């Protein structure tokens, strides 16, 4: 029997070596695998190269990993945000390396890694600083730059539900980078709200087939859901409104 589920986030991230390249899903906070990142911090793995759209928000999740000085380099499209103070400080201090990639090239390079494409010509970034030094070619009257795949040793992503084969469905815009990162890493680790019995996910609606998934951990339902139904009552950070009221 195939069973890709593991018992805890700690088990899920076991074995991530120092120096690994780790993709982390999410766009801002949506789809960020917070429990897996916390477990990665606890694991002590360091000297990491991180691939994410952003470079952390606030003091939790990816920002906390950065704050713990575990990240040597980050490959992302949009590090600077109103609440990216952790990254900002490290960057200004010269303590983190940044590879800035236009968001569509970032996505396509990840997809290329998963799909066995050796390189591709993209129009995005041509004529800008971010295509400097790249191979440029005119094809059919349009100018393109050659971009290479981004592979990873590990991908940490968040999905909505999984089955024990590792089939995944996502929720709304929390899907973002999850499906492509799952294809591009040697080992893909997923946190989900819930693992459902095999056969319960409609095969027409599976977004990530289990072939791309190695380990799945259920972390419990998001605060804004009740048995899978949206009930609201939270801030954009996912904090329950009543908690919010009482802590400020």
Partner 1 sequence: MTTRITRDELAARIAADIPEGAFVNLGIGAPTLVANFLPDDEEIILHTENGLLGMGAAPEEGRIDPDLINAGKQPVTALPGAAYFHHADSFGMMRGGHLDVCVLGAFQVAQNGDLANWSTGAPGAIPAVGGAMDLAIGAKEVFVMTDLLTKQGEPKLVAECTYPLTGVGCVTRVYTDRAVFDVTADGFAVRELFGDNTLDELRELTGLDLKEQA
Name the residues that contact a second copy, by CB under 8 A: 108, 112, 115-123, 137, 139-140, 142, 144, 148, 169-172, 202, 204-205
CA dist 31 and 158 (Å) reads 5
Q: How far is the CB of 221 from a second copy (least distance, A)?
A: 17
Beta carbons within 8 Å of 12's beta carbon, 6+ residues apart: 6, 36, 39, 189, 191, 215, 216, 217
246 binds, among partner 1, a second copy, none (CB under 5 to 8 A by kind): none
Beta carbon nearer to partner 1, 27 or 64 = 27
Per-residue CA distances from 215 to 12, 133, 189 (Å): 6, 38, 5
Q: How far apart are the first and last CA of the chain?
A: 49
Q: Is 58 in the site for partner 1 (CB under 8 A)?
A: no
177, 157 Cβ separation under 8 angstroms = yes
Q: Is 203 in the site for partner 1 (CB under 8 A)?
A: yes
Give the residue, chosen from 15, 18, 230, 243, that forms a contact with partner 1 under the rule CB under 8 A: 230
Q: How far is the CB of 131 from a second copy (least distance, A)?
A: 13
62, 37 Cβ separation under 8 angstroms = yes
Beta carbon nearer to a second copy, 78 or 121 = 121
14 binds, among a second copy, partner 1, none (CB under 5 to 8 A by kind): none
Q: How far is the CB of 45 from a second copy (least distance, A)?
A: 25
User: Which tokens belong to 180?
Assistant: 């492509």
Label each residue of 186-217 as H, E or C: EEEEEEECEECCCCCCCCCCCCECHHHCCEEE
Q: How far is the CB of 160 from a second copy (least distance, A)?
A: 9
Nearest to 36 by CA among 26, 28, 27: 26
Q: How far is the CB of 230 from a second copy (least distance, A)?
A: 12
Beta carbon nearer to a second copy, 7 or 203 = 203
Give the residue, chosen from 7, 93, 94, 129, that forms a contact with partner 1 under the rule CB under 8 A: 129
67-126: which residues touch partner 1 (CB under 8 A)?
Answer: 77-81, 87-88, 91-92, 98, 100-108, 110-111, 113-117, 122-126
């Amino acid at each position: 029997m195939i069973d890709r589920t593991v018992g805890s986030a700690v088990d899920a991230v076991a074995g991530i070596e120092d120096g690994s390249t780790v993709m982390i899903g999410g766009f801002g906070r949506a789809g960020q695998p917070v429990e897996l990142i916390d477990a990665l911090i606890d694991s002590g793995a360091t000297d990491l190269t991180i691939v994410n759209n952003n470079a952390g928000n606030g003091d939790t999740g990816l920002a906390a990993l950065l704050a713990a000085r575990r990240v040597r380099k980050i490959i992302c499209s949009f590090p600077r945000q109103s609440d990216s103070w952790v990254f900002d400080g490290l960057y200004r201090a010269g303590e983190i390396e940044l590879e800035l990639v236009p968001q569509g090239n970032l996505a396509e390079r990840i997809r290329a890694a998963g799909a066995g494409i050796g390189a591709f010509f993209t129009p995005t970034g041509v004529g800008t600083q971010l295509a400097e030094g790249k191979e440029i070619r005119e094809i059919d009257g349009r100018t393109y730059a050659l971009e290479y795949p981004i592979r990873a040793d590990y991908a940490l992503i968040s999905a909505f539900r999984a089955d024990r084969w590792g089939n995944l469905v996502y929720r709304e815009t929390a899907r973002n980078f999850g499906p492509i990162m799952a294809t591009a890493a040697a080992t893909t680790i997923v946190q989900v709200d819930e693992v459902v019995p095999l056969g319960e996910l409609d095969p027409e609606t599976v977004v990530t087939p289990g072939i791309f998934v190695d380990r799945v951990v259920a972390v419990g339902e998001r605060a804004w859901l009740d048995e899978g139904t949206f009930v609201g009552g939270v801030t954009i950070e996912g904090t329950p409104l009543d908690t919010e009221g009482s802590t400020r």
